[in-house]
Structure 1
Amino acid sequence: MTTTPASDRSSTPEQERWLTPGVRGIGAASFLADVGHEIPTALLPSLLTSTLGAPAAALGAIEGVSDALAGAARFGGGVLADDPVRRRRVAVGGYTTTAVLGAATAAASSVWQVGVLRAAAWTARGLRVPARNALLADIVPAGAYGRAYGFERMMDNLGAIFGPLLALGLVAWLGVQWAIVLSVIPGVLAAAAIVYAIRHTPEPASRDKVPLRFRVRPILRGELGRLMAAVAAFEVGNVAATLLILRAIDLLTPGHGTRTATTIALGLYTAYNVAATAASIPAGRLADRLGVRGPVLVLTGGVAAFAVSYGLFAVTGAALIVLAIPFILAGAGIGAVETAQHSAVAALAPKELRGSAFGLLATVQSLGNLAASTLVGVLWSVFSPAVAFAYLTVWMLLALAGLLFTAARPTG
């Protein structure tokens, strides 16, 4: 595969005009969709336990099944997204279906109904992810991938901040069930934003449908394969942010009490999301500026931030200022990592397999996160939180080694 010299990747007027109506449309869709699904997600525990009287185990089972289906759907969605015509339909249908099914959980009268609706909504959400990412690569030149994906990640992270706040306001005003019902509004607006983006995307050269084929081996050849191996090591050590919150609560409770400790921990999690939002576009700009190796180098920096963060979580005490440092590092790290992962896959994947490449990336992310959270939970319970975070730090170091190996190999 030929690559473009660094001096040519971000200098032309066409490449400078990266924030096009299509990019803005996809960014708006990510923001609105995240607002829409964060509302039922934030209120699902209350709906199940307080309204339907279900035990906490029901929430765990529903979320586990839903996450597993979303991961499988991302792989299948990648195959669908290889077709430029089909990826448009999958994107619109995925955003619309997620919004409608998520809001429909408010009308559920039993736990099994909530489970079915949640699982179906998350499956639709998984299907749309590779299609959205492939659409974004269709819109911008290669020299602007970092900025474009950084903008999309920034908007997604903003939605993660705004969604729970909106949920709190809606619950105070209308109650849990009506708040969930109204989540359909930002969700449908997200689908409209994707339609707007598609209308500003160049028409496919051919209207012939691409045959559906699961093609993994061609994606894993060469530099993209080495990158995916390093990404897999990172994701196996990329634990769910809820465990960071739990670590903060455990450390703060002896000195502050459970209620205050929980409030402070949620404030730290907000700082995590703010850091992720703030880091996304600068990380993308840096990736574009550094040329061919830019995404890998930015990804390396993001993984290094996680390694330091998890190392601090393993040894830190309850001092608030000290505890804020690993939260902010992890937030900045995820902003850089997600931006760099997407821009690297867009640049390195064969164009005809771009959808499958994004689907494989999303599947690795889902399965890796599941493995990380599960194993860390066991280590936490059997040994200690310090051992659990030391385990995660080792995986970050392995990912760093893989990325440095990838960066050292010649491009071709």
Structure 2
Amino acid sequence: MPREDHRPPAASPPDPPSRAEGDERWLTTGVGSVGVTSFLSDSGHEIATSVLPGFVTGTLHGSAASLGLIEGVSDALTGVLKLVGGPLANDPRRRRRLATGGYLGTAVATGAIGLATTVWQVGVLRALAWSARGLRGPAKDSLLASLAPPRAFGRAYGLERAGDNLGAVVGPLAAAGLVAWLGVRPAIWFAFLPGLLAAVAITVAAREARRRHADGDREPIRLRFAGLRDAGLLRPLLPVLLFEFGNLAVTLLILRATELLHTGGRTAAAAASLAILIYAAHNAVAAVTAYAGGHWIDRAGPRLVFAAGAALFVLAYAGFAAGPSSWWVLCGFFALAGAGIGCAETAESALVARLLPDRLRGSGFGLLGAVQAAGDVVATVVAGVLYTAVSPAAGFLYAAGWMLLSLLGAAALAPGRPAAATAPRPPR
């Protein structure tokens, strides 16, 4: 008989590190689809937004006041619906349906504006489009967090913000070409096409999320404010609120540039055209900075990148307050503002994704969206009044002051350690 071998079996070699442990797998089909969704959707509604002033005042013979009312009501509804959509997006099944339906609803309502024959019809359709846009926001952001690995939240949200800002470059340029080729109404109809493609792209992302994650029990529809507080979200949101109190609508930047450029024999039309081109460059810088800032967030944390964004805005607004008339100097200040928004928006989204578990992220993104919307309305209204009643410099210095306070607030949070990197406590 052969002698029995009592030697212990040889140890098996360790498993090679999986691709999921490396950085090469953060850019999955789902993450990329969300970035493409933001690009397509923003391209579509920027086509309509660019044409809307001429359509309301020229084609439908409405007033500037009616246009302002339409935009004001629509923006307010966006903020309210983000807060409403947050608790709905806590549940994975609902968030997938909200994301797909929200993008489709925005596309249909935006394209239908081109069929309107009265100003009030434009107002209703714009409100519907912007309501769907607000409702889908927390669902899209929560969906992205479920698709990206935690170590790459910065890069994932940087890619999404880059897509959104690139859409703000392509949309106005496409609108100019469509108006020259087909006219105002057909240009608005064409806004439906990229919106429809955005709905298809987000559906691809939703299907990947469904394959990768079991749905589990259905989450109740509640804001879960106590859970957000216990997870440590409220304190880091204070610098965000201060930031948004100084985050002016870009229309004020374009107005300031147009006025400053209307010198030296340059006509008002030429000044306006040049200001719009500079604004397109602003969006391009924002796209590049958002993507680069996302990589920075994954190395240093959201707090530092957010503070950098606030500092860039302080410099940009100080420049607009000084009032240079040189186009290339103004382009530099627009670039600073673009870099600032690219850093700040990416950091804000990554902050929420890092701090909160999946079942609270919808509520967190909804609260963030409400803070952003409320702050932006206050910032633009107050600065606009100061701009008109006192001077343009007063309006921009007011906004710069809030940005400086935001910078100081971010610096005061957990020095040497990103606030968003702290381990969240279990929600109640």
TM-score w.r.t. length of structure 2: 0.90
Question: For residue 131 of structure 1, what is the amino acid of its counterpart?
Answer: A
Q: Does 1:244 align with 2:245?
A: no
Question: 1:192: which partner in 2?
Answer: 200
Distance 1:58 1:162 in 2: 27
Question: For residue 173 of structure 1, what is the amino acid of its counterpart?
Answer: W
Distance 1:289 1:338 in 2: 17
Distance 1:217 1:69 in 2: 25
Distance 1:381 1:408 in 2: 40
Partner SS, residue 408 of structure 1: coil
Q: Does 1:50 align with 2:67?
A: no
Question: 1:282: which partner in 2?
Answer: 292
1:359–1:384: structure 2 CA closer, same or farther, 3 Å change rule? same
Match among 296, 304, 320 for residue 327 of structure 2: 320
Distance 2:231 2:90 in 1: 20
Match among 140, 155, 161 for residue 147 of structure 1: 155
Decide whether the 8 Å contact of 2:142 with 2:358 is kept in 1.
no
Q: Does 1:263 align with 2:273?
A: yes
Question: 1:335: which partner in 2?
Answer: 342
Match among 385, 398, 401 for residue 405 of structure 2: 398
Question: 2:243: which partner in 1?
Answer: 234
Match among 121, 134, 140 for residue 132 of structure 1: 140
* Mapping of residues 282-301 of structure 1, within 5 Å: 282-290=292-300, 294-301=301-308
Match among 159, 170, 173 for residue 162 of structure 1: 170
Decide whether the 8 Å contact of 1:67 with 1:122 is kept in 2.
yes
Decide whether the 8 Å contact of 2:146 with 2:358 is kept in 1.
no
Segment of structure 1 superposing worse, 186-195 or 167-176: 167-176
Distance 1:249 1:113 in 2: 31
Decide whether the 8 Å contact of 1:297 with 1:407 is kept in 2.
no
Segment of structure 1 superposing worse, 201-210 or 160-169: 201-210
Distance 2:226 2:392 in 1: 38
User: Following TM superposition, by how much is the alpha carbon of 1:32 offset from its aligned partner in structure 2, in angstroms?
Assistant: 0.7
Decide whether the 8 Å contact of 2:82 with 2:135 is kept in 1.
yes
User: Following TM superposition, by how much is the alpha carbon of 1:316 offset from its aligned partner in structure 2, in angstroms?
Assistant: 3.6
Q: Does 1:24 align with 2:53?
A: no
Decide whether the 8 Å contact of 1:101 with 1:121 is kept in 2.
yes
Decide whether the 8 Å contact of 1:146 with 1:285 is kept in 2.
yes
Cα-to-partner distance string for 1:72-124 (whole Å, 9 max, x where unaligned): 00111111101111000000000000000111111112111111111011000
Decide whether the 8 Å contact of 2:44 with 2:107 is kept in 1.
yes
TM-score w.r.t. length of structure 1: 0.93
Cα-to-partner distance string for 1:47-83 (whole Å, 9 max, x where unaligned): 2122211111111111111111111001111111011
Match among 377, 380, 389 for residue 370 of structure 1: 377
Distance 2:358 2:75 in 1: 28
User: Following TM superposition, by how much is the alpha carbon of 1:220 offset from its aligned partner in structure 2, in angstroms?
Assistant: 3.5
Question: 1:89: which partner in 2?
Answer: 97
- Structure 2 gaps, min length 5: 1-18, 424-428
* Mapping of residues 69-88 of structure 1, within 5 Å: 69-88=77-96
Decide whether the 8 Å contact of 2:60 with 2:119 is kept in 1.
yes
Question: 1:6: which partner in 2?
Answer: none
Distance 2:337 2:374 in 1: 20
Aligned residues: 399
Structure with the bigger percentage of helix: 1
Distance 1:221 1:228 in 2: 13
Distance 1:223 1:250 in 2: 44
User: Following TM superposition, by how much is the alpha carbon of 1:223 offset from its aligned partner in structure 2, in angstroms?
Assistant: 4.0
User: Following TM superposition, by how much is the alpha carbon of 1:14 offset from its aligned partner in structure 2, in angstroms?
Assistant: 4.1
Question: 1:214: which partner in 2?
Answer: 223
CA-atom RMSD in angstroms: 1.6
Decide whether the 8 Å contact of 1:296 with 1:407 is kept in 2.
no
Distance 2:58 2:225 in 1: 45
Partner SS, residue 205 of structure 1: coil
Question: For residue 297 of structure 1, what is the amino acid of its counterpart?
Answer: L
Decide whether the 8 Å contact of 1:43 with 1:167 is kept in 2.
yes
